[in-house]
């Protein structure tokens, strides 16, 4: 790390400003204000303190940096380019254009060095809480006396918008409770949001708020004074050496658009290009004479961190080699976990887990089946990190032998408190950091609270597992506020999210296995409160893994009944009742429509032959099922909110019954026959049979 002389430091900060100005001006789109206002903070942090290796963005012990105010994306793009990441100037020139590595908001997996996708305000700082928590847990689990291999900080930039979002309260309150002393956040207090000066709608005493959370707060730092910023960071980093160390909020007073002679300090510079005249005036004010997208050599050399990063990484590699000699098993486990690979024992034993689960004859609520699956799978997945938003006893996300994590205590299960949104975004941060596979539970209805974080997990392709119990009107007496109607269908249409609604214990265990094995996206499990009978046997595992499969059928079936979750047993009852009437049907269990839709067209056509009419049954909004039943099929569902009553009475009240399914199958077959007869040529006599 280097401390440049004041003149060079000023030039290095101005390089950030100019790159942001030029990129936004060329794109005619973007947010130059935050990069211009936070340039000095960025120079001090990235040039003097940040531990990173631009030539290896995935180095395990790097500091994590999160730009929570993601609209200021040119700030991080400028930093990544200047410090030597694989982000050439041509990409900055292509800012906000199709297929560039410099999207309007930072995207992990697209831009080397970007740690998380930010833009929805408040989620970046919450991801940072998850990253810092993962660092603390891994340090507690793997560090040994005289052998420290996990020792890094998490830094986050956030603005007034992040502070106003409710999720910042959820996450930062928990961060204080957990004493995440290696989390350092910089509050860009510029008093401006899109609508103008925030004093009309945001007058919180932010320092006192964070002090109440249990944070170390450094107030009133001049965000354009590099010495003051440097001193604040040093004081913040000192917290990690204290037994009772706290996360730190550095409150930086800045001027948005600093350097612009006519627009600095106004909302005009927040989310729009400066314009050619103001760009020229800003260059003149800053004394910047280089052409657009050119950095003077001495400034570029000062910024380049490749060699410094390689040296720091090599020193860590040497420490890790010593650790591996002293603790070979732990070193191998750490490498495996950070790579995201499952241990070999998992593949060897998972089928035995399925056999064990399938052998259970009793009827269980699938929330209990989920816990049974966790009990069996958890020994094979030591990287599990579970939790619940104050509903552990209902969600049943704890498992035999799990250890409750606390303030300064390692564990693999956390009580998140009533923080559904915070929990979901913290899990994203844990997954992004690496080393753990996070899952967390709440009631399905409250997925509404966490929905945008679920969406972000899908967008980022994170291995995160959401456990949603009490999945329908089947929860009964808690009434319509807690009864899910639209939630499963709406989750199914989030791109990249696998939504499971299993029918029994084995389907639940397979859902867990598929979620654990999946590296390219999140999964959601919608589970019942009420007991469900066993419907499957271990021979069906391969087909269950396809998301949808033929559960039962008679000879020469005349219709298909497709169902999920608690209604699958109802479909089976209808199948048997219709058989007694001489009507042969096929029952398709569809625990995961997303996975079924990824199967071959041949498999899908074999499961749903085009000539067979389809009745779908699910205690949820019916519209989703039109993609399977078609215009001529029928859906037995619920298109209204529920009621407060015992579950059995509710199913009867809303007509989600065996009798109703049978009636709909008969009606489909009758209408099908009528259509066929209406197309008969003249002279053909209608059969009386």
Nearest partner of 39 among 161, 186, 193, judged by Cα: 186
For residue 91, give Cα distances in angstroms to 53, 95, 104, 201.
20, 6, 12, 37
Element (H, E) at 79: helix 73-83
- Distance, CA of 165 to CA of 425 (rounded, Å): 13
Helix (H, G, I), strand (E, B) or coil at 220: strand
Q: How many CB atoms lie within 10 A of CB 631?
A: 5
Decide if 391 contacts 441 (C-beta within 8 A).
yes
Nearest partner of 647 among 470, 486, 527, judged by Cα: 470
For residue 434, give Cα distances in angstroms to 30, 58, 122, 129, 403.
31, 10, 21, 14, 19
Phi-psi region of 140 (alpha: psi -120 to 50; beta: other; left: phi over 0): alpha
Q: How many CB atoms lie within 10 A of CB 540?
A: 19
Handedness of CA 542, 545, 547, 551 (dihedral sign): positive
Decide if 87 contacts 102 (C-beta within 8 A).
yes
User: E strands of 395-457, at which residues?
Assistant: 413-415, 437-443
By CB atoms closer than 10 A (0-12, 13-18, 19+), residue 79 is buried
For residue 113, give Cα distances in angstroms to 178, 202, 358, 458.
27, 33, 45, 20
Element (H, E) at 35: helix 33-37
- Distance, CA of 210 to CA of 247 (rounded, Å): 10
- Distance, CA of 49 to CA of 222 (rounded, Å): 18
The gap from C-alpha 430 to its chain's centroid, in whole angstroms, comes to 10
- Distance, CA of 682 to CA of 674 (rounded, Å): 15
- Distance, CA of 532 to CA of 516 (rounded, Å): 24
End-to-end CA distance of the chain: 90
User: E strands of 428-504, at which residues?
Assistant: 437-443, 465-469, 498-500
- Distance, CA of 644 to CA of 193 (rounded, Å): 44
- Distance, CA of 278 to CA of 266 (rounded, Å): 14
- Distance, CA of 18 to CA of 300 (rounded, Å): 13
- Distance, CA of 231 to CA of 225 (rounded, Å): 10
Residue written as tokens 């510029």?
190
Q: Which two tokens stand for residue 69?
A: 């105010």
The gap from C-alpha 28 to its chain's centroid, in whole angstroms, comes to 31
Q: Which two tokens stand for residue 218?
A: 């450094």
Residues 6+ apart with CB under 8 A from 374: 384, 386, 397, 398, 399, 512
Residues 6+ apart with CB under 8 A from 116: 66, 106, 108, 124, 127, 428, 429, 432, 460
Active site amino acids? 420
Nearest partner of 102 among 114, 116, 115, judged by Cα: 114
What is the largest distance, in Å, between two alpha-carbon atoms of the chain? 101
């Amino acid at each position: 790390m280097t401390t440049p002389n004041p003149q060079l430091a000023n030039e290095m900060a101005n390089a950030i400003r100019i790159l942001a100005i030029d990129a936004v001006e060329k794109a005619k789109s973007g947010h130059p204000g935050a990069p211009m206002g936070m340039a000095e903070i960025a120079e001090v942090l990235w040039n003097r303190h940040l531990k990173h290796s631009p030539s290896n963005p995935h180095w395990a012990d790097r500091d994590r940096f999160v730009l929570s105010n993601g609209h200021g994306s040119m700030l991080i793009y400028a930093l990544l380019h200047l410090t030597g990441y694989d982000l050439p100037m041509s990409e900055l020139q292509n800012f906000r254009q199709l297929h560039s590595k410099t999207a309007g908001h930072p995207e992990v997996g697209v831009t080397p060095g970007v740690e998380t996708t930010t833009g929805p305000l408040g989620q970046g700082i919450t991801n940072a809480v998850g990253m810092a928590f993962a660092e603390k847990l891994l340090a507690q689990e793997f560090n040994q006396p005289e052998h420290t291999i996990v020792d890094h900080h998490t830094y986050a930039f956030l603005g007034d918008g992040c502070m106003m979002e409710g999720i910042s309260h959820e996450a930062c309150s928990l961060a204080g409770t957990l004493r995440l002393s290696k989390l350092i956040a910089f509050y860009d207090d510029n008093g401006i949001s899109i609508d103008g000066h925030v004093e009309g709608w945001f007058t919180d005493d932010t320092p006192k708020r964070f002090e109440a959370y249990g944070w170390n707060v450094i107030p009133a730092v001049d965000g354009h004074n590099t010495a003051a910023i440097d001193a604040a960071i040093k004081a913040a980093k000192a917290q990690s050496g204290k037994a009772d160390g706290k996360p730190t909020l550095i409150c930086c007073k800045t001027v948005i658009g600093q350097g612009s002679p006519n627009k600095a300090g106004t909302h005009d510079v927040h989310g729009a290009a400066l314009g050619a005249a103001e760009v020229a005036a800003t260059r003149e004010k800053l004394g910047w004479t280089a052409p657009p997208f050119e950095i003077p050599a001495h400034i570029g050399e000062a910024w380049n961190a490749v060699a410094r990063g390689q040296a720091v990484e090599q020193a860590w590699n040497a420490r890790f080699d010593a650790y591996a000699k002293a603790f070979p098993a732990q070193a191998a486990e750490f490498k495996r976990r950070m790579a995201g690979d499952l241990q070999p024992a998992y593949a060897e034993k998972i089928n035995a887990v399925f056999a064990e689960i399938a052998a259970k004859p009793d009827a269980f609520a699938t929330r209990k089946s989920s816990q049974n699956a966790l009990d069996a799978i958890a020994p094979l997945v030591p990287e599990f990190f579970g939790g619940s938003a104050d509903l552990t006893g209902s969600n049943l996300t704890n498992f035999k032998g799990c250890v409750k994590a606390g303030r300064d205590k390692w564990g693999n299960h956390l009580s998140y408190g009533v923080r559904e949104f915070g929990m979901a975004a913290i899990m994203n941060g844990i997954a992004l950091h690496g080393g753990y596979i996070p899952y967390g539970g709440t009631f399905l209805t409250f997925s509404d609270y966490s929905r945008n974080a679920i969406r972000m997990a899908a967008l980022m392709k994170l291995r995160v597992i959401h456990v949603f119990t009490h999945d329908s009107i089947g929860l009964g007496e808690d009434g319509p506020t807690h009864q899910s109607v639209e939630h499963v269908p709406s989750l199914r249409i989030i791109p990249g999210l696998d939504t499971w609604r299993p029918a029994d214990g084995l389907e639940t265990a397979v859902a867990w296995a598929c979620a654990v094995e999946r590296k390219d996206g999140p999964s959601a499990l919608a589970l019942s409160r009420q007991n469900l009978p066993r419907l499957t046997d271990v021979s069906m595992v391969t087909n269950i893994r396809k998301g949808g499969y033929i559960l039962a059928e008679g000879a020469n079936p005349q219709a298909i009944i497709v169902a999920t979750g608690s209604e699958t047993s109802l479909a089976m009852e209808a199948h048997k009742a219709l058989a007694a009437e001489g009507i042969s049907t096929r029952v398709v269990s569809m625990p995961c429509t997303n996975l079924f839709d990824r199967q071959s067209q041949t498999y899908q056509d074999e499961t749903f032959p085009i000539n067979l009419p389809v009745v779908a049954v699910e205690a949820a909004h019916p519209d989703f099922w039109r993609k399977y039943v078609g215009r001529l099929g029928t859906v037995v569902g619920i298109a209204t909110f529920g009621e407060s009553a015992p579950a059995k009475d509710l199913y009867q009240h809303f007509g989600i019954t065996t009798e109703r399914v049978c009636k709909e199958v008969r009606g489909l077959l009758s209408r099908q026959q009528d259509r066929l007869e209406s197309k008969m040529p003249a002279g053909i006599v209608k059969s009386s049979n």
